[in-house]
Structure 1
Amino acid sequence: MRELLLPLTDATVNVRSTAGPGTPEAPVFVLVHGIGMSHRYLDRLHNTLAVTGAVHSVDLPGFGRSPKPERGVSIEQYADYLGELLPMLSERPVVLVGHSMGAQFATETAVRHPALVAHLVLIGGVTDPTRDSVLRQALDLGRDTLKEPFGGTMIVMRDYLLCGPRWYLATLRPMLAYRTDLRLRDVCAPTLVIRGKDDPVSRHEWGVRLAAQASQGKLLELPGRHLVHFSAAAATAAGIREYARAFAPGPASPLDEPAAP
Structure 2
Amino acid sequence: MTVELLTHTVLAMTMVSWRRQGPGPGPAVVCVHGAGVSSRELLPFVEAMGELREAWSVDLPGFGHSDKPAEPLTLPALADAVAGWVAETGLERPCLLGGSFGCQVVVEVAVRHPGRVGALVLVGPTVDPHARSPMRLVGQWLRNSVRESPRMAPLNIADYRDAGLRRVLATFGISMRDRVEDKLPHVSVPALVVRGGKDRMVSQAWAEQVTRLLPRGRLAVADGLPHMVPYRDPRGLARLVAAFLEEALT
For the criterion TM > 0.5, the same-fold answer is yes
**Aligned equivalents of 1:228, 1:241: Cα separation in 2:** 15
Superposition RMSD in Å: 1.4
SS of match in other structure, 2:147: coil
**Aligned equivalents of 2:108, 2:53: Cα separation in 1:** 24
Q: Trace 1:48-67 onto structure 2 (pairs within 5 A).
A: 48-67=48-67
Q: Trace 1:20-39 onto structure 2 (pairs within 5 A).
A: 20-21=22-23, 25-39=25-39
What residue is the counterpart of 1:17 in the other structure?
A: 19
What residue is the counterpart of 2:128 in the other structure?
A: 128
In structure 1, runs of 5+ residues without a counterpart are: 250-261
Greater displacement, 205-214 / 233-242: 233-242
What residue is the counterpart of 2:175 in the other structure?
A: 175
What residue is the counterpart of 2:6 in the other structure?
A: 2
Do the aligned partners of 1:28 and 1:90 also contact (CA within 8 Å) in 2?
Answer: no
What residue is the counterpart of 1:231 in the other structure?
A: 232
Task: Provide the identity percentage.
Answer: 28
SS of match in other structure, 2:118: strand
Do the aligned partners of 2:6 and 2:16 also contact (CA within 8 Å) in 1?
Answer: yes
Deviation at 1:189, TM superposition (A): 0.6
**Aligned equivalents of 2:237, 2:179: Cα separation in 1:** 24
> TM-score normalized by structure 2?
0.93
What residue is the counterpart of 1:184 in the other structure?
A: 184
Letter in 1 for 2:40: R
Do the aligned partners of 2:72 and 2:170 also contact (CA within 8 Å) in 1?
Answer: no
Q: Deviations over 1:202-255 (max 9, x none)?
A: 111110010001122111110310111111111211111111111114xxxxxx
Do the aligned partners of 1:13 and 1:61 also contact (CA within 8 Å) in 2?
Answer: yes
What residue is the counterpart of 1:43 in the other structure?
A: 43
Letter in 1 for 2:228: L
Q: Deviations over 1:123-150 (max 9, x none)?
A: 1110111101011111111221122111
SS of match in other structure, 2:87: helix
Deviation at 1:160, TM superposition (A): 2.1
What residue is the counterpart of 2:243 in the other structure?
A: 242
Do the aligned partners of 2:27 and 2:118 also contact (CA within 8 Å) in 1?
Answer: no
Do the aligned partners of 2:72 and 2:171 also contact (CA within 8 Å) in 1?
Answer: no
What residue is the counterpart of 2:94 in the other structure?
A: 94
**Aligned equivalents of 2:245, 2:179: Cα separation in 1:** 24
Letter in 2 for 1:40: R
**Aligned equivalents of 1:10, 1:243: Cα separation in 2:** 35
Do the aligned partners of 2:74 and 2:174 also contact (CA within 8 Å) in 1?
Answer: yes
Deviation at 1:163, TM superposition (A): 2.1
